[in-house]
Amino acid sequence: LSHKPLKKIVLIGSGNVATHLAKQFAEKGFVIRQVYSRTIENARFLALRYNALAINALHEVETDADMYVFSVSDNALFQLVEELKINTGIVLHTSGAIGIDVLKKFKNYGVFYPLQTFSKNIEINFKEVPLLIEANTSENLRIIENLALKFTPYVHNITSEQRHKVHLAAVFACNFTNYMYRISEKILNENNLSFDILKPLILQTAKKIETHLPSHVQTGPAHRNDNTVIEKHLSMLNEQADRALIYKILSEQIKRNNIKNE
């Protein structure tokens, strides 16, 4: 394997990550031979762009590809690994939450986890995306590292346990933050206001962490221990128990951490 250049790729999955990876691989001169997806229309949609064959059954996978990349929902990964019968090439998965060992039935395998939020139709500058990699042997690590360096200079060789912790941190930093935006959007829309009004604040909040630690730039009523404002906000939320609960938990955590920092 080590002497053979990686060229022919089979993508297993046609969702957000597979769509972005396909574009990157194609731009770098790799040949995408097949795209698998559970729903054949989705496989076709991606495969067509790269002259690849769309399939929706893993027994149809070419067995002589150089690389097989799983970018499927975490729940489906275990079952699909079972179904993939190949004995050449290197097999990768792109999950933050699943250990490398899920691929242990293969001879050559590893992890290629891009630490970014991908949506199919939103452009990403891949040169700024950290890639968290892992491999089953030092030789495969070298191969995956060389591959990753074609995508980005930010390549980190870390263990599955570390990757799971990064993923957990990312859920707080990205997914929960976005959910907070969604609550903000609802509150504004319910009051005939546009979400646009918050955009400068959101962007500045994110920008601050380029130069400061989050713990040093916390602001807001809970940080100031402004209990009158907190009570007022809670009464404004009294119709929405779930939003009030989120507000309460986060305010209490912010207050508690302030006390600890003193």
Ligand X SMILES: NC(=O)c1ccc[n+]([C@@H]2O[C@H](COP(=O)([O-])OP(=O)(O)OC[C@H]3O[C@@H](n4cnc5c(N)ncnc54)[C@H](OP(=O)(O)O)[C@@H]3O)[C@@H](O)[C@H]2O)c1
When asked if residue 76 is in the footprint of ligand X (CB under 6 A), the reply is yes
85, burial (CB in 10 Å: exposed 0-12, middle 13-18, buried 19+): exposed
Q: What residue has token string 């509150």? A: 187
Q: How far is the CB of 92 from ligand X (least distance, A)?
A: 11
* Residue 118 or 126 with smaller CB distance to ligand X: 118
When asked if residue 34 is in the footprint of ligand X (CB under 6 A), the reply is no
User: What is the torsional sign of CA 157, 101, 165, 38?
Assistant: positive
- The answer to whether the CB of 1 falls within 8 A of the CB of 108 is yes
Paired strand residues for 93: 70, 111
Q: What part of residues 208-237 is at the interface with ligand X (CB under 6 A)?
A: none
Please tell me whether residue 206 adopts helix, strand or coil conformation.
Answer: helix
Residue 45 makes CB contacts below 8 A (sequence gap 6+) with 14
Judged by CB under 6 A, which stretch of 74-82, 144-152, 215-223, 224-232 contacts ligand X?
74-82
* Residue 18 or 81 with smaller CB distance to ligand X: 18
Residue 9: how many other CB atoms lie within 10 Å: 24
Q: How far is the CB of 20 from ligand X (least distance, A)?
A: 8
Q: How far is the CB of 252 from ligand X (least distance, A)?
A: 30
Tally helices (H) and strands (E) across the chain: 9, 8
In the list 27, 28, 64, 73, the residue contacting ligand X (rule: CB under 6 A) is: 73
Q: How far is the CB of 51 from ligand X (least distance, A)?
A: 19
When asked if residue 17 is in the footprint of ligand X (CB under 6 A), the reply is yes
In the list 64, 74, 139, 231, the residue contacting ligand X (rule: CB under 6 A) is: 74
When asked if residue 38 is in the footprint of ligand X (CB under 6 A), the reply is yes
- The answer to whether the CB of 103 falls within 8 A of the CB of 109 is yes
When asked if residue 126 is in the footprint of ligand X (CB under 6 A), the reply is no
When asked if residue 15 is in the footprint of ligand X (CB under 6 A), the reply is yes
When asked if residue 96 is in the footprint of ligand X (CB under 6 A), the reply is yes
| Residue ranges in the chain assigned as alpha helix (H) | 16-27, 40-49, 74-83, 138-151, 160-170, 177-190, 199-208, 227-236, 241-261
Q: Which residues bind ligand X (CB under 6 A)?
A: 13-18, 37-39, 42, 71-74, 76, 80, 94-97, 113-114, 117-118
